[in-house]
Every structure is written in structure tokens, then in C-alpha cells.
Amino acid sequence: SQQGEEDPQALSIQEGENATMNCSYKTSINNLQWYRQNSGRGLVHLILIRSNEREKHSGRLRVTLDTSKKSSSLLITASRAADTASYFCASRSMNRDDKIIFGKGTRLHILP
Amino acid sequence: EPEVTQTPSHQVTQMGQEVILRCVPISNHLYFYWYRQILGQKVEFLVSFYNNEISEKSEIFDDQFSVERPDGSNFTLKIRSTKLEDSAMYFCASTRLAQGGETQYFGPGTRLLVL
């Protein structure tokens, strides 16, 4: 698989439930970031987790990072209709400081 | 809160024409990037730019592409002779530093349609 692969590719849940999305990567990373993209719109930065961190919280978001498994998860608690969007993880390699590599994203749909 | 801006929001052009996409990065940022996203696909890195020169580019960024920082605020992406497959959303991003835990802030994108 390619760097920054998310699963599931699509997720539909009821409003109020928690949504969990996972991301895997291949190379050693400096940090990993999660972005949200509403349909046809720009990328909104959600949260960044460094390689020496295991968990980070921001509001209803919780991100975990397992460098031994080269994976990360994004948990959105108490989902809302406004959370409907695509979510991407993007990793910055330890060796290459410039670019970040995006995954294919998870399309999250919150059902009313 | 400062943000990255991009103009135009939409651009329609004929195949073979030149287009220039414009970006205004966040004012105290030093590193600038262009990415693109073909409809329904993932975001792909094109080029990074620091200290008035390209620091890294992907294989997508061929001779048809060029970047420039013509003044202290704008950062542009030029496509010299557009092809149908250049149709995509183009995102500009900037970051204060390249190393360490620095967030890349993205602009809202320019949707380019090549006919």
C-alpha cells in the first residue's frame, strides 16, 4: 500500500455516534497530520501529532499514533452533521522535510 | 487568524493555453508548496519552494510547470501549455519552518478545468 492509506474508504454513522478512521504509512515519519475537506473545498488542518507523541486531543478529536505499527487513528466523538466530509492523513517523512504525503482519504457521512 | 489565499477560485481554459495560479501565503511563512488533487483522487505534492528556489519537486512537476515568487507576498504556479489531464484542484500551502512539527496551512484551492 502507499504511504498514508486510510481505511475505511467510506463510513456512514448516525449523528451522535463516534467515528474512527485509520491511516497507515510506510516510512519513518517526523509527524503526521489530519486534514478535513468538505466536498470540492479546501483542506482544513485538524491536528498534528509528532513522532514522539502517542495521543493528542483537540476538542472532539482524538488522534493516536503507533510508530511501531506505522499507523494512526482519528476519532471524532459525538459526531454532528457538520462533520460530514473527507478526512485525510498526511505524513512528513523523517528523511525528507519538505513535502507531506497524503492518503486517499475516508469519506465520512453523518446520518441525521 | 492569518490564512493562505488563492486566486482565482475557478479557472477554465482551452488546451494549450497558459495559466497562472496565484497564492498569497501567510506573511511570516518561509516555505511554500503547491499540491494538486484530480477529482476523486488524493492530494499530490507538486513542488516546494524556499529562499527563492525550488527545494523539491515531484515527477508531476515537469517542464510545463514553473513557480515564482515575484514579490514579497505572491507565490505563483504557471502551467505553460495546459493539457486535459491538468484539470484538477490546485492547492497552495505554506509553513513557517520545514523541519520539526510545523503545520502546513492550505489555501482554499483553485479549480482548473482544461477544455
- Per-residue pLDDT reduced to its tens digit, A73-103: 999 999 999 999 999 999 887 765 567 889 8
Q: What is the pLDDT of residue B80?
A: 95
Contact between B90 and B32 under an 8 Å Cβ cutoff? The reply is no
What would the grid cell of residue B41 be? 483522487
All residues of chain B having their beta carbon less than 8 Å from the beta carbon of residue A96 are: 56
CB-based contact (8 Å) between A80 and chain B? no
Contact between A22 and A72 under an 8 Å Cβ cutoff? The reply is yes
Contact between B8 and B113 under an 8 Å Cβ cutoff? The reply is no
Query: Which of B103, B109, B111 has the CB atom closest to A48's CB atom?
Result: B103
Q: Name the minimum distance, in Å, from the CA of A112 to any CA of chain B.
A: 25
**What are the pLDDT digits (tens) for B14-61?**
999 999 999 999 988 989 999 999 988 889 999 999 888 998 899 999
Q: What is the pLDDT of residue A20?
A: 95
Q: What is the pLDDT of residue A2?
A: 39
Q: How far is CA B21 from CA A55, B41, B65, B90, in A?
A: 38, 20, 11, 8
Q: Name the minimum distance, in Å, from the CA of B110 to any CA of chain A.
A: 9
Contact between A37 and A104 under an 8 Å Cβ cutoff? The reply is no
All residues of chain A having their beta carbon less than 8 Å from the beta carbon of residue B43 are: 43, 88, 90, 102
What would the grid cell of residue B47 be? 513542488
User: For chain A, what percentages of helix, strand and coil (3-state, to nearest 5) are there?
Assistant: 5, 55, 40
Q: Name the phi and psi angles at A83, rounded to 5.
A: -80, -10
> What is the helix (H) or strand (E) element at residue A59, kind and residue range?
none
CB-based contact (8 Å) between A45 and chain B? yes
Q: Which residues of B91-110 are buried (b: 16+ CB within 10 A; e: fewer)?
A: bbbbbeebeebbbbbbbbbb
Nearest CA-CA partner of B6 in B97, B90, B95: B90
Residues forming a β-bridge with B94: B32, B105
Would you state the torsion angle of the CA atoms of residues B2, A83, A108, B34, taken in this order, to the nearest 10 degrees?
-10
CB-based contact (8 Å) between A50 and chain B? yes
pLDDT of B13 > 80? The answer is yes
Q: Which pLDDT tens digits describe chain A residue by residue (112 residues)?
A: 335 667 788 999 999 999 999 999 888 888 899 999 988 788 999 999 999 999 999 999 999 999 999 999 999 999 999 999 999 999 887 765 567 889 888 999 999 8
In angstroms, the CA B57 to CA B91 distance is 15
**Mean pLDDT of the residues in chain A:** 89
At a CB cut-off of 8 Å and minimum separation 6, what does A105 contact?
A6, A9, A37, A86, A87, A88, B42
Q: What is the pLDDT of residue B67?
A: 97
Q: Where are the alpha helices (DSSP H) in chain B?
A: none
